[in-house]
Amino acid sequence: DAGVTQSPTHLIKTRGQQVTLRCSPKSGHDTVSWYQQALGQGPQFIFQYYEEEERQRGNFPDRFSGHQFPNYSSELNVNALLLGDSALYLCASSLDSGGTYGYTFGSGTRLTVV
């Protein structure tokens, strides 16, 4: 049974560009949350998707947007990239929005903005 799958694993973008990161949740999970982990920091909550809608959002600008598809997979889009957006982006899936039964994390996408 595959866990959470994220793609790509690494990518390099130039300042001002746009990027799309992808996440496939664990089988049976319908809720996806995204986190940003800057180097040497703990992950910070970006937003959560459930039933194809953004349900909760952290303190991130509108440059960060997302989408959830009918198969529960999700995308994270970041526009007008800044150097400070360089980080590990983690996707977590769960059986419900409150994480009653826990969260399963992917290995992340390492984004470098140059």
Task: Compute the distance between CA of residue 8 and CA of residue 17 in angstroms, rounded to an integer.
Answer: 16
Tell me how far apart the alpha carbons of residues 67 and 92 are, in angstroms, rounded to a whole number. 14
**Closest distance of CB 56 from other proteins, Å:** 5
Asked whether 74 and 53 are in contact (CB, 8 A), the reply is: no
With CB under 8 A as the contact rule, which of the stretches 12-20, 65-73, 78-86, 102-110 interacts with other proteins? Answer: 102-110
Give the residue from 58, 28, 27 showing the smallest Cα distance to 43. Answer: 58
Q: What is the DSSP letter of 25?
A: P
Q: State yes or no: residue 109 binds other proteins (CB under 8 A).
A: no
| Beta carbon nearer to other proteins, 44 or 65 | 44
Residue 31 touching other proteins (CB under 8 A): yes
Q: Is there binding between residue 102 and other proteins (CB under 8 A)?
A: yes
The reply on whether position 108 binds other proteins by CB under 8 A is: yes
Q: x/- contact string, 33-62, with other proteins (CB under 8 A)?
A: x-x----xxxxxx--x-x----xx-x----
* 14/102 with CB nearer other proteins: 102
- Check if the beta carbon of residue 106 is closer than 8 Å to that of residue 89: no
